[in-house]
Structure 1
């Protein structure tokens, strides 16, 4: 599979998975969280499709498209450990989260996701959904939309 085809497959899985998970948490009270702002595409999609929720965003640096800059009070700039600790300290209740941190080296990305998993668990509300490009640990894995290959995106319930 070409890198372009792989990217398209990932973006489609990401979008469809977010939409699917948003439907599952529709009746729950709480916020959204985008871990890894990057260009801002996922955040933009989350704020459009979950307009009734506050969407927290974290990344080391703010370098997204100008149309995707989150409100200053919702952007947790810096290391993920610090941002997740801040959310836990203020008692944030996250019902839907997207995990997209990574270096682009699979082994390092999987290791980092495992290390962050307990920190993410502290901010997730019971019954919440996690959508991730990397495997996470300590969460209940669930089958996502049938058309998404199990190794393409990961889905978890808290």
Structure 2
């Protein structure tokens, strides 16, 4: 498969997965957490599809498309461990988290997901969902929409 075809599969999986997750959290209270802003495409998608939810964003740098810059009060710049600890300290609770961090090195990405999982799980409301490109630990993995290859995107439900 070409890299372009692979990118199309990833973007389709993101759209289908985030749309599915947005429907699943109807009725839950809590904010949304975008872990990794990048260009801001998924942030923009979440903002459009969950207009009544506050979307908190964590990234090391702020470099999105100009139309996708989160409000200052919702963007947390720095290392994820520190930012997740700050969210916990303020009592933030998430109905949905989208884990989109990655270095492009599978072993490094998996290790980071395992390291950050214990900081994400306590932020989730009961029944809240985490949609992730990387495997996470300490949270129940569930089946997502059947349009997505289970190896492409992973889905988790907080207890």
1:127 aligns with 2:127: yes
- Distance across 1 between alignment mates of 2:102 and 2:91: 26
TM-score, normalising length: structure 1: 0.99
- Distance across 2 between alignment mates of 1:115 and 1:61: 20
Q: Which residue of 2 aligns with 1:31?
A: 31
- Distance across 2 between alignment mates of 1:51 and 1:72: 17
- Distance across 2 between alignment mates of 1:127 and 1:10: 25
1:156 aligns with 2:156: yes
After superposition, give the CA deviation of every residue in 1:80-111 in whole Å (9 maximum; x if it has no partner).
01110111011111000100111100010000
After superposition, give the CA deviation of every residue in 1:33-77 in whole Å (9 maximum; x if it has no partner).
100000000000001000000000010000010000000000000
Gaps in structure 2 of 5+ consecutive residues: none
- Distance across 2 between alignment mates of 1:80 and 1:38: 14
Correspondence list, 1:77-156, <5 A = 77-156=77-156
After superposition, give the CA deviation of every residue in 1:121-149 in whole Å (9 maximum; x if it has no partner).
12111110000001111111111110100
**Number of equivalenced pairs:** 158
After superposition, give the CA deviation of every residue in 1:9-41 in whole Å (9 maximum; x if it has no partner).
011101110110111111001100100000000
TM-score, normalising length: structure 2: 0.98
Q: Residues 16 and 147 of structure 2 are in contact (CA less than 8 Å); yes or no, is this contact kept in structure 1? A: no
- Distance across 1 between alignment mates of 2:83 and 2:41: 20
Q: Which residue of 2 aligns with 1:10?
A: 10
Secondary structure of residue in 2 paired with 1:125: strand
